[in-house]
Structure formats: structure tokens, C-alpha cells
Structure 1
Amino acid sequence: MEYKRSSELFVEANKVIPGGVNSPVRAFKAVGGTPLFIKEAKEAYLYDEDGNKYIDYINSWGPMILGHAYEPVVNAVIERAKKGTSFGTPTELETKIAALAISMVPNIDKIRFVSSGTEACMSAIRLARGFTRREKIIKFSGCYHGHSDSFLIAAGSGASTFGVPNSPGVTEGTAKDTLLANYNDIDNVKQLFESNKNEIAALIIEPVAGNMGCIPPKKGFLEQLREVCSENGALLVFDEVMTGFRLAKGGAQELYGVDADIVCFGKVIGGGLPVGAFAAREEIMNYLSPLGPVYQAGTLSGNPLAMAAGYEMLKVLNEDNAIFQRLEEKTAYLEKGINEVLSENKMDFTINRIGSMISVHFDSSPVFDFETAKNGDNETFKKFFHGLLQKGVYIAPSAYETWFITDALTYEDLNYTIKAIKDVAVEL
């Protein structure tokens, strides 16, 4: 494949945008080469500025669960835009999508919409600190909750891709209030609570990690977190920006049967438009301004275009009782195919999967936390990535990212992908 137009556009972008991109992982720094400039997308496919077509396994990092340019969502945005794109006032649509989301997700009474997953997680932590009147939080190494200062400590994902897990600009004062735990290590969590008695406001976690590859929780881990948080008066915060409305209607809470105190959303809930949200039971949410003392605001929060897209997306997911089973079956089919072709070619690898999230790690040992994720052979991953790209299969340009499966993928697409992986494995 040729990338002449993408290469030219990247040169131009570098003149006016830092690194030529508006989100670092897009720059292909982890894999080398020139990032693709996408012209359009439809269903399960991307089309770049050079006219190349790709089967897409990023899906805008998760939200395109029904495929690109999904007609009901597109039509809803068009009709809404004709009536105005932003008012800075309440709209009926905000109430409609809030009621729908609350009906789908267990254990939440009220929800507030914001403009990104980062903003949702940042606001959730502020709310937890205000509600508990404590300052410290626990986060897990390798979990990424956006680029708010409190979270840019062993943050995984893009931070790991660039080898800067602790970003300059984060003050020591901020860092001291963030305690680091090891994912899937309940004893480590208990030790932190023991050494910081009555100081921890919240523990925030991706219930299924997606920013060190796809890493599911070990059996009983989330239940134990629920227990230890309750025992210590801390709030359990689920960052379901990736997993919300993707692993089940009610996200990871429903899938694992564990109730969080605050839940953060993004990705799917906006139907592909910039949106985030955080939700909790009434007594916690009523601590928010204008009812309570914890301030949070946003001019574009509840933006009518984002609300229109999100409402149509959630409505389909709520009414289609078979969609999550279809996604499970397609992703399991892909996992089986990848496992077979990589095994045939004697490659060292591990595949992690839960629902429609999957990742391939080039290491034969189990991958269950940030340290084991870092054991993967990144040089092999780079060759794997570019080999697939040449064959029209687009996966995340980082070994520390999960793949996202869309319902728009056909079994023909999956078979083509498996064949492409086989061909690349033979070359490797």
C-alpha cells in the first residue's frame, strides 16, 4: 500500500499541531512509520486519503459498537443540527438519554453528562473526595483514566507507549495523594488501606483494563475490592469509559455482579461524538452543584448533537437483545482463529479477551497486570502491526491497547483477518 497523501498531510500537520496529532498514540511513535489520515468510514471499514481500505479493529477506540456511519445515529445528528448545535440551556433530550441510561445500568439513580471520559473520571474523583471529606485515592498501575493530573502516575496506554508514565507538569503535591496499586493484587490494595487509615476517599479502576492491552479481573478480585472499600469507608469508582454499554447493557457492573459507588462513562454513550458521564446513587450525586457543595460545570455538557447520537445508540443496544451475544461470538471466533494460526507458526503469544475486547501479547506467559503486559516483545508487535496494515487490517498502533470489535464486522471480515494474521506470522 502507498501512503503518499497521508505522508504529505502529516508533514503539514506537524507545522501547526504538536507532533502532527491531537492525541499522542495516533502518531505511530510506538510502531514507527507515518500515521494514516482517514478520509471516511462506513460500517467495519476505514478509507484513508490514499484510497486504501482497512478492516477496522480500533473503532474510534471503542464507541463504534454498531459500525461507522450507523444510519440511525447519523440521521439523528443531522436532524438535531438543523435545530441548532448548542444552546447552553437544558433540553428535553438530556433527560431522555439520562433516563434511558439509568434504566439500563444497575445501581445508579442519577447521571451527569460531560464532554469526555477524562472529564468524567476527574469529576468523579472530585465528587468522591467531597462526599467522603478525604483526599487520597488509589489507582492501579497501567490503568488510564484520562490525562487529569491525579491520574498521570503509572498511567499505562499512551503514557507507556511514550515511556513517560509520570508526566512533567504534575506537581508533587498532586502526586502524593495518588496511591498506586497492582492490578489483580488484592493483598497490595489491603496494605495501602492499612497504611493510610481513614485517608482514602476512593479507589478507581478499569473493571476490565483496556490500556495495557485487554486484561480482565481475576476471579473474585472486583468482589474483594467492593468489600475492602466498604470496610474502609472509601468509594469504589468504576471507570467504564470502555466497558460501559459494551460488555453488557449495564456494563461491567452487570457482567460481574459488582456494584460500584460511582461509574464513569464515555465512548459508546455518545455514539461517536465527544461525550462522557458519571453516575451514582442519589445521596452521592446530590453532593453536586447546584444541589450540593461539589462544583462541576461545562458549557458543552449535554450538547444536543452528542445527546442525539448517544440516545439513538443506547436505544438500539437496549432493544436488540441479541447484540451482545453476537459480539461475544464474533470475538470468540476471532480469538480461536488467531490462536490457531499463531500456534501453527510457533510464536510466543498470549491472547486476552472478554466480550468484544481482545488483545494479542507477544509473550507466552499470562498477562494479568502492568508488569506482565510490559514483558511482551514490542519489536515483534511493530512488525505484526505493519504487516497487518499492508494487508488492510488496522489494529491499534500500540502494544498497550485493546482491540474493539464492532457488530458491523462480518464473518468474511474475520476470516480475512485470520488469514492476514497467518500470512504475517509466516513472514515473522
Structure 2
Amino acid sequence: MASNNFGSSKELFERSQKVAPGGVHSPVRAFRSVGGTPIFFQKGQGAHLTSVEGDRYIDFCQSFGPLILGHRNPEVQKAVLEMIDTAWSFGACEPYSLALGEKIKSWIPFVERLRFVSSGTEAVMSLARLSKATTGRKYLLKFNGCYHGHVDSMLVKSGSGLAGLASSDSAGVSQEIAGETLVAELDDEKAVTELFSKYGSQIAAVIIEPVPANYGLLIQRQEFLRFLRDITKQHGSLLIFDEVITGFRVGPQGLAGLWNIQPDLVAYGKVLGGGFNVAAYGGRQDLMDWIAPSGPVYQAGTLSANPVGMRAGLTTLEQVEKNDVYTVLRSRTAMFTKEMQALFDKHSAPFQVAHFESLFWIHGRTDKTIRHLSQIPEGQKENFAKLFHHLLQQRVYLAPSGYEVGFLSFAHTEAVLGETLNAFDKALGVFKA
């Protein structure tokens, strides 16, 4: 077993706690869910990360999803360096966002107009405002187990009932704001029907991650998503797909294209920027034309469509297309997760692995497909934390939470995956639940 020396990371984390809240700039990085000292990384290449201690890890976090080609893909790096040699921000019109926008429209016909922004949160925030403006309605309907960024109206949870008006899920989010969001459980058509019966004429939009992947991998039934499409049409509400994770990750048209379910509006991010701060929202032209300067819904951003991110995003999509990345990753992920499950069984470990295209999630054993939060087996946090640290000893880095998913990239070759499976075998050999 390899030994870990986190001395440099420990010293950096102690200093960082005097600079940033909790020592980090996004909560999960603090290792609160798994315990121990967060590892500080200094280099990424392909499927690997190198820590400040000089240790090399196989990385399945991949920056939480953007790096579908792996760290520092040579073609993306070349495009970015060429752009930086010219400029890195204009705050004006430029041809690079046009090129990426036209590429997206050529892939996704239902995106008739789109607007680039800098984060998925910004995209969702804009869609929430847009949907209320275009419909003249008050409520948004979301689902427990879906994450839509740190937008105030999305930082809510179910109230006292299983479905209905939401309550705040964060300090600083007033009950007045939370009260304009309705919350239902995933995969519960009855609850959604009841909400529409009560509030239907005032529901502006239903928003959902079509494959929720922020609180585990909660793979939904196609029938449930089609039901949402039908009931929103019946009541004159909009359907919003938050495809920040699944967009350009599960296929060229995201989940909407993969399952042929067309939303009215959609949010993209992560893969779209190839590792840079790029997101977008788009959809029907008659709705998007409400966005300023075409219409009265205001949204703006200093770094929106920054040329470096645009070049990175366009090159990423070009490389995905050129290398048939979706087909390759579908095959590799299926093989990898099948062999991983065989190892869990071999060692009688309390784990199963679920996967969808190039996403995977390790969870407790169950005889059900986990579609909503209440189906997640007990002990998820504790058991995953133990496995996480055993895998660190074997130089495998997963996202530091049992509720985060893992990502394969094109750089995770069969050889890298074989090395990973050997590491799992060793880690499970000493694992004790």
C-alpha cells in the first residue's frame, strides 16, 4: 500500500482557513463529508492529478464534470494559448461566441436562441426570471434531489408536507422568496398532479435535472420526464431542463436529444466550457427574445462569452465530435462499472455502482434503482468516506463526498481503467464496513 504524505497540503489548508471561509472556495472541497485534510493539487494531465506533495492520482472528479477530454487536452490547450496570445477579454462583440453558438445550434435544433454566461447558477437564475416574465406567473416547481446552483429561489426544500410550498434551505433566503417555489419528490407523478391541480394557473415553469447527478445519480424514468412534458403543456407552463451536467456529456444534444424529450428552455455548463467558466441558457426563440436587449428581461455579464472560454468550448466540442467520444465513453464506462461491481461482490463490500453514459455513482446495496433521496441506503456517507480514504492510499481520487458522482474522460484509457480496478481490488481488500 502506498503511503500518503499530506504535510504540504495540511500546511496550505491551515493558511487557507485564514483567507477563505472554511479554507475553501466551494464547500465540498473542504473534505467535511469524508474527513481528513483536503489535498492541494498543482498539476493536471489527462486522467491524472499531481498533488503539491508530488503524488500522482487517477482522477475521477475531473473538476466535477467539465473535462470530458481530460486535463490539459493538447488541442484545447493549443486553442487557449493562441487566444491568450491575442486577447483574453473584450467586453465587446467578437467572432468566437458566434462560432460556438452556431456549433451548438447545429447540434441542437430546439435551441433557437442562446445566451452565454459564466456559470450554471447564472444560467438558472436567468431562466427563472425569464419563465416568470414570459408567463406572468408566480411559482417555479422543482424537485428534492435536484441541484440548480446557489440561486435563492432554488435553495429550498419541501415544507411540512411531501409536496407543496417550499421552506428555505439556506440562511439568508427569506421565506418570501422560498414561498414562490413549489417542491415535489422525484418520480412522483401523483404529487406533481396535485400541485398542478392546486397551483397550475400560477406555475410558470417546472425545472429538473433530467438525470439528477448532484445528490447521487438518481436516474429517472423516461415516462416521468414525458409526463412532465405533457402536464406542463396542458397547463401552459414551461419545462426547463437543467443540463449543466448532462449537456454535451451524455450526447451531442444532452439528455433531451438522447431521450427525444424537448424542453422549452435549457441550461448548459461544465463540458460546454472545456474547463473554463462558460455556461449558457437557451431554447425557443419566442421566449429568448424576451431577454435584453431584444426584450424587457434584464441579464448582463462582464465576462459573458469571454473569448478564451469560447475557444476552449468550441475546440472541446470539435474534439468530442472528431474522436467519437460519446461512443467510446459509453463502452468504457459500461466495462469499468461492470468490473467494479464484480470487485465489490468479490470482497463482499457494502457497495453497488450505478452508471449513466459516462457518469457513475458508488452507493450502498439495494435491490431498487435509486430514483429519489429516500431510497439511498443508510450509511452512505460513512461507508463512502472509508472507501474514499482507502482509494487515496492507492492513488485514486474520487470527489470527496458519497453524494457526488464520478466522471470518465476520454483520457481514461483502458489501461488507466485497468490500473484503477487493481487499486480498487487492493483498497477493498483492507476495507471494513
CA distance in 2, matches of 1:408, 1:290: 41
SS at match of 2:361: strand
Residues 110-259 of structure 1 aligned to structure 2 (within 5 Å): 110-154=113-157, 166-259=169-262
Query: 1:388 maps to what in 2?
Result: 391
1:161 corresponds in structure 2 to none
After superposition, the CA RMSD in angstroms is: 1.4
Secondary structure of residue in 2 paired with 1:238: strand
Cα distance in 2 for partners of 1:207, 1:259 equals 11
Following the alignment from structure 1 to structure 2, what is the Cα–Cα distance between the partners of residues 359 and 426? 20
Corresponding residue for residue 334 of structure 1: 336
Q: Is the 8 A contact 1:62 1:242 kept in 2?
A: yes
Q: Distance in 2 between matches of 1:360 and 1:168?
A: 31
Give, as a single letter, the amino acid of the residue that structure 1 aligns with 2:235.
N
Choose from 80, 83, 100 the match for 1:77: 80
Shift, 1:106, TM fit: 3.6
Return the offset for 1:419. 2.1
Q: Tell me the alpha carbon deviations over residues 219-253 of structure 1, each in whole angstroms, 9 at most, x when there is no partner.
A: 41111110011111111000000000010011101
Maintained 8 Å contact 1:154/1:165: yes
Query: Does the residue aligned with 1:337 lie in a helix, a strand or coil?
Result: helix
Is 1:282 aligned to residue 285 of structure 2? Answer: yes
1:421 aligns with 2:415: no
Letter of the 1:54 counterpart: Y
- Report percent identity of matched pairs: 40
What TM-score, normalized to structure 2? 0.94
- Residue 24 of structure 1 and its aligned partner are, at CA, apart by 0.3
Aligned to 2:62, the other structure's residue is in SS state coil
- In 1, the alpha carbon distance for the partners of 2:110 and 2:75 equals 29
The alpha-carbon deviation at position 424 of structure 1 amounts to: 2.2
Instruction: Kindly state the Cα deviation for residue 8 of structure 1 after the two structures are TM-superposed.
Output: 0.7
Q: Secondary structure at the match of 2:311?
A: helix
TM-superposed CA distance for 1:182, in Å, is 0.8
1:100 aligns with 2:103: yes
Q: Which runs of 5+ in 2 are unaligned?
A: 159-166
Question: Which secondary structure does the structure 1 equivalent of 2:206 belong to?
Answer: strand
Task: Kindly provide the amino acid, as one letter, of the partner of residue 24 in structure 1.
Answer: P
Cα distance between partner residues in 2 of 1:144 and 1:386: 26
User: Residue type matched to 2:291 in 1?
Assistant: L
How far off its partner does 1:365 sit? 4.1
* Partner residue in 1 for 2:348: 346
Give 2:331's aligned amino acid: E
Match of 1:368 in 2: 371
Confirm or deny: 8 A CA contact 1:350 1:365 kept in the other structure. no
In structure 1, give the amino acid aligned to 2:402.
A
- Counting matched residue pairs gives 419
Pairs within 5 Å for 1:26-45 = 26-45=29-48
Is the contact made by 1:385 and 1:395 (CA closer than 8 Å) also made in structure 2?
Answer: yes
Conservation of the 8 A alpha-carbon contact between 2:168 and 2:175: no
Shift of 1:13: 0.6
d(CA) in 1 for partners of 2:332, 2:260: 24
**CA apart distance, 1:376:** 4.4
Pairwise CA distance, 1:421: 1.8
CA distance in 1, matches of 2:307, 2:350: 48
Conservation of the 8 A alpha-carbon contact between 1:142 and 1:154: no
Q: Deviations over 1:107-165 (max 9, x none)?
A: 1111100000110111111111111111200111011110010111139xxxxxxxx98
CA–CA separation in structure 2 for the residues paired with 1:166 and 1:326: 39
Q: Does 1:266 align with 2:308?
A: no
Report the Cα distance in structure 2 between the residues aligned to 1:348 and 1:228, rounded to whole angstroms.
Answer: 39
**Offset of 1:425 from its aligned partner?**
2.1
Give, in angstroms, the shift of residue 53 of structure 1: 0.5
The amino acid that maps onto 1:331 is T
> Residues 38 and 48 of structure 1 are in contact (CA less than 8 Å); yes or no, is this contact kept in structure 2?
yes
**Amino acid of the structure 2 residue aligned with 1:353:** H
SS at match of 2:50: strand
Question: How high is the TM-score relative to the length of structure 1?
Answer: 0.95
> Counterpart of 1:198 in 2: which secondary structure?
helix
Instruction: Give a deviation string over 1:50-99, Cα, whole Å, max 9, x none.
Output: 00111110101111101110111111111111222111111111111101
- Displacement of 1:192 in angstroms is 1.2
Which structure 1 residue ranges, 5 or more long, are not aligned? 156-163
1:11 partner SS: helix
Equivalent AA in structure 2 for residue 335 of structure 1? T
- State whether residues 348 and 364 of structure 1, in contact with CA within 8 Å, keep that contact through their aligned partners in structure 2: no
Change in CA separation of 1:374 and 1:122 when aligned onto 2, cut-off 3 Å: farther
Between the aligned partners of 1:185 and 1:250, the Cα distance in structure 2 is 26
In 1, Cα distance between equivalents of 2:247 and 2:28: 22
Q: Quick check: 2:115–2:281 contact (8 Å CA) kept in 1?
A: yes
For residues 374 and 12 of structure 1, what CA distance do their matches in structure 2 show?
37
In structure 1, C-alpha distance between the alignment counterparts of 2:185 and 2:99, rounded to whole Å: 39
Aligned partner letter, 2:107: M
- Residue 55 of structure 1 aligns to a residue whose secondary structure is strand
Of residues 288, 300, 314, the one that matches 1:311 is 314
Determine the structure 2 residue equivalent to 1:158. none
- SS class of match (2:318): helix
Stretch deviating more after TM superposition (283-292 or 216-225): 216-225
- Distance in 2 of aligned mates of 1:178 and 1:49: 44
Q: Is the 8 A contact 1:363 1:377 kept in 2?
A: no
TM-superposed deviation, 1:374: 6.1
